[in-house]
Amino acid sequence: MSEDAIKQMKQAVAKAAADRVQSGMIVGLGTGSTTAFVIQFLGDRLRKGELSHISGVPTSFQASVLAKKYGIPLVTLDDVEKLDIAIDGADEVDPAKNLIKGGGAAHTREKIVDSLADQFLVVVDSSKLVPKLGATFPVPVEVLPFAVAPVTRALKALGGQPELRMGVKKDGPVVTDQGNLVLDVKFADIPNPAELEQTINNIPGVVENGLFINVADVILVGEIVDGQPHVREMA
């Protein structure tokens, strides 16, 4: 599929998600290429007067910068007890609406924000749908720098193949917004994603991992149908 077709799918699903936000809502703002379009469309709606009095809780430095660019007022988790809706992308979505997230190394903040929302709305293009988690994407694990070696050994003992995520256009590893490192862990099979999520998080030194189990409420999927972008809600 062409880059232009993928962009059209992402824009279509992002617009459909932004259209679900109502005036007065507190909105979790996700991280990544599709959610960047959501933030842009929310800004457009505010500017046109279609929306008013919304507040955003960003999940990353990227989301914060974009929200400021498009005129979305920001609040922190110190200011609010819960969110009305959180909108975020995913790297994989299985038929049970479980996710792998963390391609942008923001999954720790994303999981906190997404879990606090009354509704967690996931926006993806059709390439992110998989029959089983781990089919195409490793599980990102955010780790304290001090603990990389022992956590690597523990993940290998679980049957994973961990690799330290290295920076692009930067010498050395990727550093998260919290100042931690990311291990991308490939598993040959993930028979019980919920159990693996808990097991990984119980390893001392692990901050959070990218398995999002029983968190997503609604999945909007952008597709190309007969050459045109189309959005459907996953059953």
Q: Is 223 designated active site? A: no
Query: Which one of the listed residues 3, 92, 110, 208 is annotated catalytic?
Result: 110
CA 206 – CA 201 distance, rounded (Å): 6
Sign of the CA dihedral running 142, 143, 149, 152: negative
> Which active-site residues does the annotation give?
110
